[in-house]
Amino acid sequence: MHQKEHVEVAALNLRSVLLRSVTSAATLGLLLQPTAVYAQQHHTEQIEFRVAAANLQNIRDARVIVIDDRGNVLGSGLTNGAGIWSIALPLHVDPRFAEARSIGTVTAIAIANGYNEQAVFEVPVSSHSVQPIILYPISSEHRNEPTISLGNIHRHDVIGMINHYAKKLNLKRQPSVANEVDYAPWSPYQN
């Protein structure tokens, strides 16, 4: 990606964060911390896409397209012989997961000759990010439409997100579960 495009992407992201900040009372504090916002937008993380077929064969020359939450293309490239393509992405922190750790999320599209396309939603951007994508071969016996999958968001990030919003709504826990240690799922009822 050219330098100019980087600057435009960063500016768009910054505008997006500021807009969200204005519309959310919970994040108004960000307006008082411009340095934090600046750092957030300029921190990058490397993400590795690994494209393979359902029969575990790595797919060379698959095109991966990465899109941000504003619909902008952040980057695109072809996988190598190991089915891998990497890109450094700006870490635009997704506040839904902030309780567990700072991760961002993007959308990816994978396209390869001989395979149906796939859209991967909620691809996590964080340290040590790896996103496997499993493509399905074109078959005359199927409709061959694109497939959909979810990004490889870590279990602990999902648990952290649910805990965050359950606590925010002051929910109670359900009764304890046999054989579980100090754990019960959340209840729909509030304290």
Cross-strand partners of 133: 51
CB 30 within 8 A of CB 21: yes
The one among 23, 143, 150, 175 contacting another protein by CB under 8 A:
150
Query: First CA to last CA across the chain, in angstroms?
Result: 51
For residue 147, the SS3 value is: strand
- What is the footprint of another protein within residues 30-49 (CB under 8 A)? none
| Cα–Cα dist 148/109, whole Å | 9
Distance of CA 25 to the CA centre of its chain: 24
User: Is 159 an interacting residue with respect to another protein (CB under 8 A)?
Assistant: yes
In degrees rounded to 5, what are phi and psi of residue 96? -65, -30
Residue 100 C-beta: closest distance to another protein, Å: 6
User: Is 81 an interacting residue with respect to another protein (CB under 8 A)?
Assistant: no
Cβ distance to another protein smaller for residue 24 or 80: 80
Residue 156 C-beta: closest distance to another protein, Å: 6
Residue 35 C-beta: closest distance to another protein, Å: 24
User: Is 88 an interacting residue with respect to another protein (CB under 8 A)?
Assistant: no
Which pair of tokens denotes residue 122? 């909620």
CB 137 within 8 A of CB 53: yes
Cβ distance to another protein smaller for residue 12 or 137: 137
Interface residue list for another protein (CB under 8 A): 50, 52, 54, 56, 83, 99-101, 126-128, 130, 132, 134, 149-150, 152, 154-156, 159-160, 163, 179-183
